[in-house]
């Protein structure tokens, strides 16, 4: 096995972004405020992490008005799902390596 540490994804090494992707991969979609509450970060901070993930094309954004309020929904893209899975696989390999 190649060195699994080399397969870690830089964008997903940060705890907050890992958690965001974790939520978006298991949920069809998730909105800004729910994500903010779940993760416990400020709105500005969340927005900037979302921007980083968007830049990587790991997520897509849909803006609308729901209940007459602005509502932003995020989804994981296929690319995002693949990268997330690979990152988890690298983590799994690290775990396996440890148990030997």
Partner DNA sequence: TAAAAGCACTTTGGAATTCAAAGTTAATTA
Partner DNA sequence: TAATTAACTTTGAATTCCAAAGTGCTTTTA
The residue ranges that bind DNA (CB under 7 A) are 14, 16, 31-33, 41-45, 47-52, 61, 63, 65, 68-72
Q: Which of 33, 62, 64, 97 binds a second copy (CB under 8 A)?
A: 97
What are the two backbone dihedrals, phi and then psi, of residue 57, each rounded to the nearest 5 degrees?
A: 60, 35
Q: Report the b/e string of 41-66 with b at 16+ CB within 10 A.
A: beeeebeebbebbeebebbbeeeeee
Q: Which of 19, 60, 71, 77 binds a second copy (CB under 8 A)?
A: 19
> How many CB atoms are located within 10 Å of the residue 20 CB?
28
Q: Which does 92 bind (CB under 5 to 8 A by kind): a second copy, DNA, none?
A: a second copy
Piece of 8-16, 42-50, 52-60, 64-72 that binds a second copy (CB under 8 A): 8-16
Sign of CA dihedral 85, 10, 46, 78: negative
Return residues touching a second copy (CB under 8 A): 5, 8, 13-15, 18-19, 22, 25-26, 88, 91-92, 94-95, 97-98, 100
């Amino acid at each position: 096995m190649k060195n699994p540490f080399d397969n870690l994804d830089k964008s997903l090494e940060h705890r907050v972004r890992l958690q965001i992707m974790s939520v978006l991969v298991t949920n069809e979609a998730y909105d800004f405020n729910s994500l903010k509450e779940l993760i416990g970060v400020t709105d500005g901070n969340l927005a900037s992490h979302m921007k980083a993930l968007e830049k990587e094309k790991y997520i897509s954004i849909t803006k609308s008005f729901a209940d007459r309020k602005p509502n932003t929904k995020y989804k994981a893209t296929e690319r995002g799902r693949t990268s997330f899975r690979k990152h988890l696989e690298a983590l799994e390999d690290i775990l396996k390596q440890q148990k030997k």
